[in-house]
Structure 1
């Protein structure tokens, strides 16, 4: 929901921001609703729903980086306890999508090629949120899994773990982000118990006018009713993955024992060197994971 009217100061009222924000929010939601109702072709959505029903499901939104997806699927397959991994392909290029589909087949992951996303070129955060909402309305909600969790495609486990275990004591958890007095779970690592949230009008999009990035639109229906101090957390440490390079140019994160490449941050001219440095950090984990990593695009 947009900010409450009392949260706007007089300067914002003079610029008519409450009105313009309300109009834009209504327009964004109309676009999102239209996208969520777009069908897909060539993928067995009923079969994926059946496979997800009552299970522990991981979901990754893939985007134009098959090598990254291959690394994650290999590592989650070998190190992360789960029943089913679904990849929602939000890629622009069909060549990337074809490679992603084959990678999913190689690793036993379910694959969905999403419809053309109206936000992809305009706003990556809105594009990601729309992709999550498509998967929620068309796959997860009708499937009723026991639990589900979202992963950024460039987030890699490095040790054996069970990310669903905390859900035995809480309805949802993940990495907290703050926007003023509001908080939400980072869309790159968040987990939900279906019986606790499945009947809510969930929205994994953003509410930018309230400062809430992807996933933050669930503030009204989920997060505002829960004390954030009760949400399980893990340490997050930023570091420069390339020696002698400023952290802002070669930014990565350790999120607990998971390595986050943060591929869209930093100096993009260093992207190739950064990926090679990430591969060196992941080498010990890749050695104990089944299969062979692909080294394509």
Structure 2
């Protein structure tokens, strides 16, 4: 991990991009919790000090056309990919844009929201911990909701309705944003066996870079 962090830092330095190594102290509990802990660390250690608008992007989401990130917040305070699960909605922080003004006076928590029942515990994804403090009080219709379309990259064909589930998503699927400016390779960390898929993804990314 340290070697990979060093490589990322070198790329940032070469391209005059600020690099900050994330160093959260809390111990994660359950799936995706390390992601939420890292996002909280970034918000309270960096964003809150700078007080600027910001975006969170997952490690395997790539811009594939020229774009202006600030344009996503021109007419709204929140933008990105809206998830609706277990009776709540929230922005998935892997693709989310925030005006600092909408967060500065609330308790911000990008970890998972948990609603306890007697017999079951519905679990949602990273970022849902802001449900009570932000999303439950916010009009969802005012969010710039950016949709993504899936593509079966392994078989090079449109995604069929019954395929967007289970391990198929990680092993064969990629996504494009509706404005065709973002590409989500999915499972970039290769926690499933996607080496074959990622060879295709690397070729696609090379083509995007060379043609734009």
Q: TM-score band, normalised by the shorter chain?
A: 0.7 to 0.9
Is the alpha carbon distance of 1:227 and 1:186 closer, same or farther for their aligned partners in structure 2, counting shifts above 3 Å?
A: same
From 134, 154, 160, the equivalent of 2:66 is 160
Contact (CA 8 Å) 1:148, 1:194: kept in 2 or not?
A: yes
Equivalent residue runs for 1:1-297 within 5 Å: 93-115=1-23, 118-119=26-27, 123-145=30-52, 147-209=53-115, 211-243=123-155, 248=168, 249-256=171-178, 257=180, 258-263=182-187, 268-269=192-193, 271-287=194-210
Contact (CA 8 Å) 1:251, 1:265: kept in 2 or not?
A: no
Distance in structure 1 (CA, Å) of the matches to 2:113 and 2:130:
9
Contact (CA 8 Å) 1:184, 1:212: kept in 2 or not?
A: no
| SS of residue paired to 1:278 | helix
Q: Which one has the bigger helix percentage? A: 1
Contact (CA 8 Å) 1:151, 1:188: kept in 2 or not?
A: yes
What 5-or-longer segments of structure 1 have no aligned partner? Answer: 1-92, 290-297
Q: CA deviation at 1:259?
A: 1.0
Q: CA deviation at 1:110?
A: 1.5
Distance in structure 1 (CA, Å) of the matches to 2:206 and 2:156:
22
Distance in structure 2 (CA, Å) of the matches to 1:116 and 1:235:
31
Contact (CA 8 Å) 2:24, 2:37: kept in 1 or not?
A: no
Distance in structure 2 (CA, Å) of the matches to 1:119 and 1:236:
32
Aligned residues: 194
What 5-or-longer segments of structure 2 have no aligned partner? Answer: 116-121, 158-162
Q: CA deviation at 1:117?
A: 5.3
Calculate the TM-score normalised by the size of structure 2.
0.80
Calculate the TM-score normalised by the size of structure 1.
0.59
Is the alpha carbon distance of 1:244 and 1:287 closer, same or farther for their aligned partners in structure 2, counting shifts above 3 Å?
A: closer
Contact (CA 8 Å) 1:250, 1:266: kept in 2 or not?
A: no
